[in-house]
């Protein structure tokens, strides 16, 4: 009985789209409530690591950007 309940809940979640990313469903609106194109997200700042693997400023010698 418990196994059937879990499989029913899992199938309902897949049909409802729970597994889909929230950003794909989200629509952007302006201040008046009208739909508009979503603004581009800002990129995360680049971080660098030195030869020992510690975080370092990107301008220092031997520092390489992380991926």
Q: Rounded to an integer, what distance in angstroms lies between the CA atom of residue 38 and that of residue 25?
A: 12
6-20: pLDDT as tens digits: 565 666 665 655 544
End-to-end CA distance of the chain: 47
Q: Give the pLDDT score at 43.
A: 82
Confirm whether pTM is higher than 0.75: no
Looking at residue 48, what is its pLDDT? 94
The domain ranges of the chain are 2-65
Q: What residues does 65 pair with on adjacent strands?
A: 48
28 and 35 Cβ atoms separated by less than 8 Å = yes
DSSP state of 17: T
- pLDDT, tens digit, 9 for 90 and up, residues 17-61: 554 454 456 789 999 999 999 988 888 778 999 999 999 999 999
What pLDDT score does 15 carry? 64
């Amino acid at each position: 009985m418990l196994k059937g309940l879990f499989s029913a809940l899992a199938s309902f979640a897949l049909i409802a789209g729970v597994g889909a990313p929230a950003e794909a469903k989200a629509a952007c609106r302006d201040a008046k409530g009208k739909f508009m194109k979503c603004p581009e997200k800002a990129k995360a700042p680049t971080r660098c690591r030195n030869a020992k693997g510690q975080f370092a400023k990107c301008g220092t010698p031997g520092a390489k950007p992380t991926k």
